[in-house]
């Protein structure tokens, strides 16, 4: 059993130090599993105390080799049987201990992996070890060593590893992937990359992960196709430094720029979009690099300058709309400068439909800044405000209500009313316009609310309407089933308008409204109302008015019905008339050629006679 660690004895409270198994349990968790670390760190005191209780392994010699402690290696070799592992060779090679490596090779040759040792030394840039190990490795088997040297930018090691195998694709890719500028330059100078398709592929990799300097070194080896793909890859990888370099070194056609712009916009990469927009000239038909190589695009869909501008404009428009729908306000601000004013107006209702409040607010300001034509502006805002009402977006409605016309607000009011959104109804009800007689939108909203039995909406709307609108709404309400709404509107009416409302109700055959007002009318108003209802053939209304009508009024009503040939009304009235009234009715009917009416009234007259 190993002795207790001093830290355990000092850390545990005295109250439990007498319980031996607790001390041993804590000690077992803290003490190292082996004594190897004490060996290769040359901790003699630890070895004296714990050396007999802890196991020794090959890791002791591996650690000594990694630290270049040849003396410890020799002592272990002479006094211990554990030996070492292949890792001792790798550690010595990677840490530049050639003497240690040679000693290990001499004593443990069966564990020596020449290629691994060469690769470790090449990656670490240790020339002495590389030179000693290079003759042991076949040229065509040392790709991993070349890759390690190239990845870590060790040009002198690459030179020391010559002669190279036939293909250097792996080392070149490693140098590019790790941004090893000097290694890439060295390999290019040694003509390790000459085929254009290969250079194009490496360039595309470089723009994703390498330093800008590596991309610049590769560009002269590539053609237009490679440059175009590189541009798109740089945009996708969010590499504005590489994009700037490519734009400075190459000239791209409109389609290449458009595709790159589309990717950058979808990534919300404002910096790259700005760079691309600054270089969008729409004048070149192919892509040229500094090398002078050029590959035509075959049938160029952007052959004319106007067509090219159109292609770019379409891509900008698509990118703008996508950014707008995402609510990417910064991208919208970047792209908006390239759009015509009409397109901005058209975009308002799309942004409203997506509920993008900040975008809508910005577009409204942009329209004002550009002084958009009133007809286009009003139409665009009108669509947007109606969409906000239909979507039930109160915040959007608040944003737009001050910018729209009364007609736009009226249509939005009716939409909100149909959707039973009383909060939005109140917002638009406050906005009023100048109309010839009455506000047709509020009339429609009142009637719809009454039909839907939304009395709270009726009451709210009644606070924002004038007398002509109240009267028109009363006339538009169905004749039955809306007494509550009718009474509410009557309470909001001016006292002097009640008789006029009563007369219009009777003339239009509005039974319920007529009945509500009947008890408040004088004999003269009732007579005229009865005559109007009789002339119009409104039998139910006539029956209601008869409750308060005198014989004179009934006679006058019969004459009115006889003049217009209202047989149904005459049948109701004739039973309430005397002979003189019926005779007057016959005379009126005769004058107006109402033959059936004459026959109906004469039959009654004969019975009375």
Structural domain harbouring 222 = 193-294+303-314
CATH number of the domain residue 565 falls in? 1.25.40.20
Torsions phi, psi for 168 (to 5 deg): -120, 25
In the 8-state DSSP scheme, what is residue 288?
Answer: B
End residue of a domain, out of 261, 279, 314: 314
Of 478-492, 561-575, 594-608, minimum mean pLDDT range? 594-608
Integer-rounded Cα radius of gyration of the chain:
49
* pLDDT at res. 288: 44
- Is residue 337 over pLDDT 90? no
* pLDDT at res. 109: 94
* pLDDT at res. 282: 45
**414 falls within a domain:** no
Contact 461, 477 (CB under 8 A): no
* pLDDT at res. 308: 55
pLDDT tens digits for range 398-438: 999 998 999 999 999 999 999 999 999 999 999 877 787 88
**149 falls within a domain:** no
Residue whose token pair is 């005295």: 14
Q: Is the peptide bond preceding residue 113 cis, with omega within 30 degrees of 0?
A: no
* pLDDT at res. 10: 55
**533 falls within a domain:** yes
When divided into structural domains, the chain yields a total of 2
> What is the Cα–Cα distance from 6 to 552, expressed in whole angstroms?
126
- Is residue 283 over pLDDT 50? no
CB atoms closer than 10 angstroms to residue 442:
27
**202 falls within a domain:** yes
In the 8-state DSSP scheme, what is residue 251?
Answer: B
* pLDDT at res. 594: 85
Question: In sequence order, which residues have a C-beta less than 8 Å from that of residue 222 and are 6 or more positions away?
Answer: 196, 199, 200, 203, 230, 289, 291, 293
Strand partners, 294: 288
- Is residue 285 over pLDDT 70? no
The mean pLDDT of 333-346, rounded to a whole number, is 85
Of 126-130, 268-272, 357-361, 479-483, minimum mean pLDDT range? 479-483
- Is residue 127 over pLDDT 70? yes
* pLDDT at res. 3: 60
* pLDDT at res. 269: 92
**188 falls within a domain:** no
The mean pLDDT of 9-30, rounded to a whole number, is 57
- Nearest of 233, 232, 188 to residue 210 by alpha carbon: 233
Q: Is the pTM of this model over 0.85?
A: no
- Is residue 296 over pLDDT 50? no
H-assigned helices in 463-578: 467-476, 483-492, 498-507, 511-518, 523-536, 539-545, 551-564, 567-574
- Is residue 202 over pLDDT 90? yes
End residue of a domain, out of 314, 348, 376: 314
pLDDT-based confidence at residue 56 (cuts at 50, 70, 90): confident
pLDDT tens digits for range 542-582: 999 999 999 999 999 988 998 989 999 998 988 888 888 88
Of the two residues 378 and 127, the one the predictor is more confident about is 127
The mean pLDDT of 367-374, rounded to a whole number, is 82
The mean pLDDT of 44-60, rounded to a whole number, is 73
Coil, helix or strand for 285? Answer: coil
Provide, rounded to the nearest whole percent, the portion of the chain with pLDDT above 90. 52
Contact 352, 384 (CB under 8 A): yes
pLDDT-based confidence at residue 2 (cuts at 50, 70, 90): low
* pLDDT at res. 605: 55
**556 falls within a domain:** yes
**238 falls within a domain:** yes
**574 falls within a domain:** yes
pLDDT-based confidence at residue 479 (cuts at 50, 70, 90): low
The mean pLDDT of 35-52, rounded to a whole number, is 70
Residue 603 tokens, joined: 């039959």
- Is residue 97 over pLDDT 50? yes
- Nearest of 501, 496, 528, 524 to residue 514 by alpha carbon: 501
* pLDDT at res. 121: 97
Of the two residues 34 and 247, the one the predictor is more confident about is 247
In the 8-state DSSP scheme, what is residue 493?
Answer: S
The mean of the pLDDT values for the chain is 85
End residue of a domain, out of 314, 346, 365: 314
CATH number of the domain residue 206 falls in? 1.25.40
- Is residue 108 over pLDDT 70? yes
């Amino acid at each position: 059993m190993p002795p207790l660690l001093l830290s355990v004895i000092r850390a545990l409270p005295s109250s439990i130090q007498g319980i031996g198994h607790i001390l041993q349990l804590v000690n077992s968790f803290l003490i190292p599993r082996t004594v190897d670390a004490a060996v290769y760190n040359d901790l003699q005191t630890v070895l004296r105390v714990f050396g007999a209780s802890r196991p020794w392994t090959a890791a002791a010699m591996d650690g000594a080799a990694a630290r270049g402690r040849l003396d410890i290696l020799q002592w272990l070799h002479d006094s211990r049987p554990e030996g070492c592992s292949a890792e001792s060779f790798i550690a010595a090679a990677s840490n530049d201990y050639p003497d240690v490596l040679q000693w290990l090779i001499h004593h443990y040759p069966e564990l020596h992996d020449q290629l691994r040792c060469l690769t470790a030394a090449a990656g670490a840039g240790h020339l002495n070890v590389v030179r000693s190990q290079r003759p042991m490795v076949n040229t065509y088997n040392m790709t991993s060593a070349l890759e390690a040297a190239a990845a870590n930018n060790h040009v002198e090691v690459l030179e020391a590893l010559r002669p190279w195998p036939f293909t250097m694709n792996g080392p070149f890719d490693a140098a590019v992937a790790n941004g090893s500028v000097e290694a890439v330059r060295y390999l290019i100078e040694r003509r390790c990359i000459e085929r254009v398709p290969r250079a194009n592929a490496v360039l595309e990799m470089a723009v994703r992960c390498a330093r800008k300097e590596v991309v610049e070194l590769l560009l002269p080896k590539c053609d237009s196709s490679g440059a175009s793909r590189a541009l798109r890859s740089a945009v996708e990888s969010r590499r504005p430094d590489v994009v700037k370099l490519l734009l400075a070194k190459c000239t791209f056609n409109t389609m290449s720029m458009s595709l790159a712009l589309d990717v950058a916009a979808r990534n919300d990469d404002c910096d790259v979009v700005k760079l691309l927009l600054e270089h969008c000239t729409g004048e070149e038909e192919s892509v040229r690099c500094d090398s002078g190589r050029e590959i035509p695009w075959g049938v160029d869909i952007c052959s004319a300058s106007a067509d090219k501008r159109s292609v770019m404009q379409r891509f900008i428009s698509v990118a703008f709309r996508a950014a707008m729908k995402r609510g990417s306000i910064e991208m919208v601000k970047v792209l908006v400068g390239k759009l015509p004013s009409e397109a901005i107006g058209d975009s308002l209702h799309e942004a409203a439909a997506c509920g993008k409040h900040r975008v809508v607010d910005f577009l409204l300001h942009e329209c004002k800044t550009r002084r958009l034509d009133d007809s286009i502006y009003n139409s665009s805002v009108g669509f947007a405000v109606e969409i906000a009402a239909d979507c039930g977006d109160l915040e959007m409605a608040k944003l737009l209500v001050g910018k729209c016309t009364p007609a736009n607000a009226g249509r939005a009011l009716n939409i909100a009313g149909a959707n039973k959104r009383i909060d939005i109804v109140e917002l638009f009800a406050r906005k009023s316009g100048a109309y010839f007689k009455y506000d047709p939108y509020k009339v429609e909203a009142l009637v719809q609310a009454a039909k839907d039995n939304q009395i709270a909406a009726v009451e709210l709307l009644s606070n924002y309407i004038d007398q002509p609108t109240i009267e028109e709404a009363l006339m538009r309400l169905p004749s039955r089933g809306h007494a509550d709404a009718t009474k509410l509107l009557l309470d909001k009416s001016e006292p002097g308008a009640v008789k006029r409302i009563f007369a219009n109700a009777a003339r239009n055959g509005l039974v319920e409204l007529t009945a509500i007002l009947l008890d408040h009318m004088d004999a003269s108003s009732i007579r005229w109302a009865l005559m109007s209802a009789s002339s119009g053939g409104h039998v139910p209304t006539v029956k209601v008015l008869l409750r308060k009508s005198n014989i004179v009024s009934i006679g006058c009503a019969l004459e009115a019905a006889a003049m217009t040939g209202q047989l149904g009304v005459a049948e109701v009235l004739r039973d309430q008339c005397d002979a003189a009234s019926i005779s007057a009715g016959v005379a009126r009917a005769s004058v107006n050629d109402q033959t059936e009416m004459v026959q109906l009234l004469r039959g009654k007259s004969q019975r009375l006679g």
